[in-house]
Amino acid sequence: MNRRPSALLSVLLVGLAAAGCTRQIVPDRGPTAYYQTAYPAHDTSQDLERVLEAVRRIEVTSVYETYRFSEDDAPTAGETLDENVLSRAVESASRVQTRSATAVVVSRSGREILMLTASHAVHFPDTVVQYFDRGRPDDRVEAPLRRIRSVSILRRRSNWVMGLPPMDPFEVLAEDRPRDLAFLGTRYPEDADPREVPTFPLPTGSSDRLSWGSFVYAVGYPSGYPMVTRGVVSSPGGELPGGFVIDGLWNEGMSGGPVLAVRGETDGLEWVGMARSSAAATEHRLGPAEGVVEDHDPWRPYEGPLFIEEIRRIQYGIMLAVPINAVRDFMEEHRRELQRLGYDPPEL
C-alpha cells in the first residue's frame, strides 16, 4: 500500500513529459533587418564559389624614367619637357612599378568582356613632377617660374588579366577617380570559348539599406590569393564620404573586389559594394639609401648620408568600400559610351 502513491506520481510525471514533447516553443526573433546582422543561417559556399569564378586578378606594370636636375640649371614649370630640356638632367634612372588588384566581370558581349575595378588600381599618370620649393609655404614664386627638381615620365605599361587563356591586354574604358571606379575592357581569344568567363551571378542590392552591424563578405585577390573574408558594416547610409567601412581584413590586391550582404528574409546574397582600400597612416623614417645597409659592416657605426623615406602603414581591420549605388550611377553615366565601344553594360 505504501508504494501506490509513488507509482501514481511516476505515471503523472511520465504523462506530463509526454504532453510536453508535443509542444513547439518558437522563440521570438523580433523584427528582421533588411540585411542580416549575424552569420547567415544557411550554407553560402556555392554562391561564393560562383562569385569567385566571375572575379579576376588583374596586374598593371609601368616603367617610369626619372630625371633629376640641379637647382642652378633646373627647368621651370612653364617649359616644355622635350628631349633638349631632359638632357640637362644631372642623372636619370628607370623605375618599375607593379600593382595588383581585383576586377569583377560584369558582362560579356561576343568576345568583348567588360570588368569593374577600383580606379586607383589602374591609374598611372603620364608625368609626375616635383619642385624645389615643395613644402615651403612662405615662397611666393609664380607657378610658371617654379623650378623642377625631378620629373618622372611614363615610358610604357602593360595591363593583364591573370588566370585566363592569353588575352588582349585590357584597356581602361572609363574612369571616375573621386568615386574610385573604373571600367576595363578586354577581348577573349579567337581560339577559346568566351563562355569560360562567367559574369557576376548575384543580384545587386541597395547600399542605402545597410545598417550598423550588417554582416558582409568581401571577395578578391589579396596578395594574389583568391580569398573570401568577412566583417560587419560601420558608417552605413553615406555617413562616411565615399562609402562605408568594414572591419574585415584587407591586403594589397583586394581593391575592386565585390562586397556581399545577406538578405534578412531570404538569406540570399546581394552585391552591395566594392572593396576600395584600407585606412593608412603616413610615417617618415630617416635612414640610408636603399642597398647601403646590405653592404655595411654591422659592427661599425654608419657615417654615410641619410635620407627621409615616406612609408604608408596599413591599418589592418579597417576596409573602405564604395557603395553599389555609386557603381550603379557610374554605369548609367557611361552606358552609351560603353555600348558604342561594343560592350553590353548590364542593368545593376
- 306 versus 302: which is more confidently predicted? 302
Mean pLDDT to the nearest integer, 298-319: 61
Domain 31-133+144-340 has CATH 2.40.128.640: no
- 242-281 pLDDT, tens digit per residue, is 688 888 766 788 899 999 999 887 888 999 999 986 444 4
Given a cut of 60, whether residue 310 has pLDDT beyond it is no
What's the CA gap between 58 and 123, in Å, rounded?
13
In order of 3, 54, 57, the CA distances from 226 in angstroms are 71, 12, 8
What is the side-by-side order of every strand in the sheet holding 91-109? 127-131, 148-161, 55-68, 91-109, 112-117, 181-187, 171-176
Q: How far is CA 104 from CA 64, 182, 231, 274, in A?
A: 28, 11, 20, 9
User: What are the tens digits of pLDDT across the range 3-14?
Assistant: 455 544 444 444
| pLDDT tens digit sequence for 209-223 | 998 989 999 999 988
Note the pLDDT tens digit of each residue in 235-249: 876 555 568 888 876
The residue ranges of every structural domain in the chain are: 31-133+144-340
pTM assigned to the model: 0.76
Backbone φ and ψ of 165, nearest 5°: -60, 160
Residue 176 burial (10 A CB sphere; 0-12, 13-18, 19+): middle
3-state secondary structure at position 208? helix
65-115 pLDDT, tens digit per residue, is 899 988 888 888 888 888 888 888 888 888 888 889 999 999 988 888 999
